[in-house]
Copies of this chain bind each other. A is one copy, B any other.
């Protein structure tokens, strides 16, 4: 393709966005921001997106059949599963003006995910055990009412996604397919050039399942997620669910005398630590929660940790979990807010003790008495050692995996895919059963499997770039070759352009009447893998340079054609 036909040009002076992908993709004229989180894919960008989606499509065809579900659905679809009120990214549509409202007052849901649609479709066609397993997938635009959308195409209100849904007659069958999907996903990321940096990661099931889900997380400085990798067991966790064994500190062997110290208006760990001249890890925080049926629960945790509410919810097996209000805290602790501790709590209050507390001696905790902090607390002597300590803390750098004892490698990553064992959640809600060999009605097991294709495009830019621009992996580059004509005589560049095109090689020909410097800068910014320069200075040879290397070579056209062969 000739650059003059693109209809776009690089915008080298466009403003810097908060993310590399937004900045480079905008400057390179791959995308254009309609508004925050909503982008147009310009001709160059659409080429990249299509290549990414075709790589995904090819792998998905191995395990499912493609269809394309409507973006709109009715409220009823979402009422049936009970998600209408609590999926917090759900958007609806309605007439935008009086004329439109007069035409139709209907409101529709703009689907952010398609369980509500695919389940009735599957149900319509497949009812007998002979029909299972099967899976449908689609690649299409999704809509989500995100609060913030500042990371370019890493997180959008409108974005492209592949979503696949599988249907099974047993949990074993689902599990088998689920494991197979991990392999297929790994192939996708390998083919996209992300194989080495992408980790299968355990994560929360969110709205979809009570089980763990699995995320495919690609290591990337600008990633929104924090991953805890146990290299020994080759297992990775999203911070939100990561188990955690705290770093141990040496403890006093001599038990000191317990003492209440007056300290008014000490707010937070920092002030407390400074006031008492104790490190965080000598302190115990006690947080009061309210759960189902207005039960009150206390959680005790080492001062250098936060509580992981995902873990806490699992331990308690509760649906509702919220920090108690002031009134409740006062009632339970007999003190103002800020002085909760683990000594002398009412018997009715269950206390969850984090396992980092187990070996502590002479520790601090709130005194359950306004203005007072108790120091040199010890197990058994001052407070009954619980039968069981729990891992209820948010994992942090330095922690180990309790299972292996290995210290986690912790890094930022971006989620490029996720898979969820839905089990019977949606089939039950939508009353989808099958008839087994004996004529009995049994529940269907489902899984869902997502890959964010536009996000992957952004992520690849975040990962593969230098100060001059993007460095596309060849398989998804807009063009393989970036051909530059520096005023060559007798249409030579044009001829070579034709020769390369005719050989079936994708080539972007910079045929513009601008300076060589501008052409070189644009080639680097756009980031096609091979740059060829045609100039009369090169005595009939062609200059070859790979985008990811500094060296240039002068080659005969025959050698160029030879190397370009697919």
Contacts and interface: CB of A to CB of B under 8 A. Distances in A.
Interface of A: 5-9, 11, 29, 32, 34-35, 38-43, 45-46, 49, 64-75, 77-78, 84-100, 102-104, 106, 108-110, 117, 121-122, 124-126, 134-136, 140-141, 143, 145-147, 157-158
Contacts of A87: 97, 99-100
Nearest to A141: B71
Nearest to A77: B34
Q: Which residue, of A72, A84, A103, has the highest number of chain B Cβ atoms within 10 A?
A: A72
B100 A89 contact: yes
B71 A158 contact: yes
A135 B7 contact: yes
Contact of A42 (B29, B67, B94, B109): B67
Contacts of A117: 34, 40
A5 B49 CA distance: 28
Contacts of A49: 68
A352 B526 CA distance: 62
A341 to B, nearest CB: 34
Given A40-B117, A125-B29, A103 B88 contact: yes
Contacts of A41: 67-68
A504 to B, nearest CB: 16
A327 B23 CA distance: 63
Contacts of A7: 64-65, 67, 122, 125-126, 134-136
A110 B96 CA distance: 9
A43 to B, nearest CB: 5
A96 B92 contact: yes
A84 B97 CA distance: 7
Contact of A88 (B5, B99, B124): B99
B11 A40 contact: no
Contact of A70 (B8, B39, B64, B145): B39
B103 A73 contact: no
Contact of A89 (B11, B45, B103, B122): B103
